Amino acid sequence: MDNSLSKMFNAYSHILLKDLKSLSRGDEDHYLFLTESTSLAEKILFWPKSMELKYKIVMFLDKSGQIQLQTLCFYCKEGQAEVKNLRTESIQIKKDLFPDFANQGNGRALRASCQTRVFFIFEIKKTNDEWKFQRGYAWSLLATILHKFNFTYVAFPANRGGGSGTLKNGEWDGAVRDILDNVADISVAVTTGVNRFEVITGTKPMAFEYLNFMLGEPKKIFLWGAIWRPLNPEVWFWVFVTTVSLSITLKTTLKFSHLSSGSHGHFHIFENVVIILLEQNVKLPPQIISELLCAMWLCAGLVLCTAYKSKLVGLMTFPAQQKQPQSYAELAQSDFSWGLEGASVGSSAHNFFLNSPSPLFKKIYQKMEFEPIANNCIMRAMTTNFACLTFNGQAEYIIYRNYTTGYGKPPLKLSPDSAAPAMPGIAMRKRSIYRTNFDRVVDSSMEMGIIKKWKWMDFAQERRKHFLWEKSNQIHAKLIDPGPPALVLKHLLGPYITLAVGYFLGGFTLGLEYFLLTRFR
């Protein structure tokens, strides 16, 4: 009988769970088995392939010829499976005929394979030789699920610490490998993308993540030519033309006046016109037409000088800044280098770039560095022309926890462009018997915004802990904005270079004058 049963189930497994795999939904469909005895009924219920079916009953005739119904309660016997008899007279609805025993775990311990680098989602630590969840919105969600369905957990780091990745030989590693090898029942915060969905499944997403790149503050550019920037070249040209034409006009009017041979006849007209522009005191020639021209020039000079100085103050306060890439296309064409931050190495985002058919993302991957230590990646982004590629959630966590200042000005910013969408959830074997149950909790938590609230409450708590740690270790915050910085020499290159040019011209004129005097005396 055992041989015939084995043959029957082998045939059943091949036909139903292989050939009709796309049609069979082990965690949603309802199965009815017919057999002739109680012993066969129990063997059918405890058969490994049958254990993967959530809703199933076995119908058979007892010794008295009465129809009996049996099903399997997965965790009723202290977390172990137990056969349950169904009373036919009490069956009124489908729920009575196919009860959902996955609603009650009775303390069953689920083996949880956990990533070790996604601190923005959750964190585990080893305490007394046991791995325990410490914090994170994924842990808040999992704790709610475990409490609701009366499960416990046994946590351990995932294979190689990551979510998953495909090796060169096509094999999976990470948390996906643990599920495929039946080492883990669930894995926390694993994205079930298109490739992974072929081998595992998972709950609905608990978050929506994207891969952005972090950049430091754009570097300020100080050029000596800043003194010319307040006015457009066209304005400078007309100021020069006006100055020269006014000087010629004044000289012409003085030439035909009685002052032509006096002290005002030979004064440096051009010099006085320029001095007026610089808002310096000047002695005007006592002639109506000259006074009128100089008065008009004084008004024009006042406007020009005020406009120049006000614009110059703005340029000195807000100097030109380095142009930074805003998209992946600009990043690929820029002189920036880039690297993948530790939380994203071996993740779905890593696989996205690895397997992308896009020439742009292929180029990004070819030049991509790998920074397993998050702090190194961030410090390079802050201090050099380096883009740190990471999930937007990880970036928000790091910036909010470590790099917010007293003025609310973090020294890092996220790119507006994103790639590699990821939807982390609780991964498990395909058609796992508790998938739909867990889904209900995840779905309702997302709709009500509870997960988002858990996330920012966790970030705020981590930020407080970080500040307390700095205070207890007497670490002074390095990122508190001290206000406007003092001017340094590079801020004033323009005036100094102009002064140097003046010294050169003065020395050249003096040398030329000395040469002419000694030559023609």
Type of residue numbered 131: W
CB 44 within 8 A of CB 58: yes
What average pLDDT score do residues 469-481 get?
68
Mean pLDDT of the chain: 79
Lookup: tokens for 475: 């670490």
What average pLDDT score do residues 435-443 get?
92
Cα end-to-end distance, the chain, whole Å: 136
Do 243 and 200 share a structural domain? no
pLDDT at 456: 93
Q: Is residue 246 part of a domain?
A: yes
Pairing of strands 220-221, 369-371: unpaired
pLDDT at 237: 87
pLDDT at 292: 75
Q: Which range has highest mean pLDDT (77-81, 187-191, 194-198, 333-337)?
A: 333-337
Do 124 and 87 share a structural domain? no
Can you point out the beta strands (E) in 163-245? Answer: 186-191, 201-202, 209-216, 220-221
- The string of pLDDT tens digits covering residues 110-130 is 999 998 888 899 999 988 889
- The string of pLDDT tens digits covering residues 58-67 is 888 777 777 8
Sorted by sequence, the CB contacts under 8 Å of residue 24 that are 6+ apart come out as 16, 17
- The string of pLDDT tens digits covering residues 486-503 is 666 666 666 777 778 877
- The string of pLDDT tens digits covering residues 159-188 is 766 656 555 555 677 788 888 888 999 998
Q: What is the CA angle 149-151-156, rounded to 5?
A: 140
**How many helices and strands (H and E) does the chain possess?**
17, 19
- Residue 141 above 80 pLDDT? yes
Do 231 and 173 share a structural domain? no
Q: How far apart are CA 516 and CA 510, in angstroms?
A: 10
What average pLDDT score do residues 34-42 get?
78
- Residue 297 above 90 pLDDT? no
Lookup: tokens for 468: 């307390």
- What is the domain extent for residue 69? 1-99
- Residue 376 above 80 pLDDT? yes
pLDDT at 440: 92
Of 73, 99, 125, the one marking the end of a domain is 99
Of 69, 99, 129, the one marking the end of a domain is 99
Do 312 and 240 share a structural domain? yes
- Residue 381 above 80 pLDDT? yes
Percentage of residues in the chain having pLDDT higher than 90: 16
Q: How far apart are CA 428 and CA 102, in angstroms?
A: 14
Q: How far apart are CA 101 and CA 72, in angstroms?
A: 8
Q: Is residue 178 part of a domain?
A: yes
Q: Is residue 9 part of a domain?
A: yes
CB 116 within 8 A of CB 404: no
Do 113 and 92 share a structural domain? no
pLDDT at 68: 82
Domain of 187, CATH number, reads: 3.40.190.10
Give strand pairing partners of 209.
422
As for how many domains the chain has, the answer is 4
Between 215-224, 284-293, 452-461, 512-521, the lowest mean confidence (pLDDT) is in: 284-293
What average pLDDT score do residues 44-48 get?
80
pLDDT at 345: 75
- Residue 263 above 50 pLDDT? no
What average pLDDT score do residues 368-392 get?
88
Of 452, 470, 502, the one marking the end of a domain is 452
pLDDT at 485: 63
pLDDT at 266: 45
- DSSP string over 377-424: HHHHHHHSSEEEEEEHHHHHHHHHHHS--TTS--SEEE-S--EEEE-E
21 pLDDT tier (thresholds 50, 70, 90): low
Q: Is residue 396 part of a domain?
A: no
Helices 38-46 & 2-14 angle (0-180, nearest 10)? 40
pLDDT at 265: 47
- Residue 407 above 80 pLDDT? no
- Dihedral sign for Cα atoms in the order 90, 95, 97, 100: negative
Q: How far apart are CA 4 and CA 175, in angstroms?
A: 38
Helix (H, G, I), strand (E, B) or coil at 294: helix
Do 253 and 174 share a structural domain? no
Is pTM beyond 0.75 here?
Answer: no
Q: Is residue 405 part of a domain?
A: no
Do 14 and 78 share a structural domain? yes
Closest residue by Cα to residue 211 from 196, 191, 195: 191
Sorted by sequence, the CB contacts under 8 Å of residue 431 that are 6+ apart come out as 25, 26, 27, 28, 52, 201
pLDDT at 232: 82
Q: Is residue 389 part of a domain?
A: no
Do 294 and 229 share a structural domain? yes
Do 204 and 229 share a structural domain? no
pLDDT at 452: 93
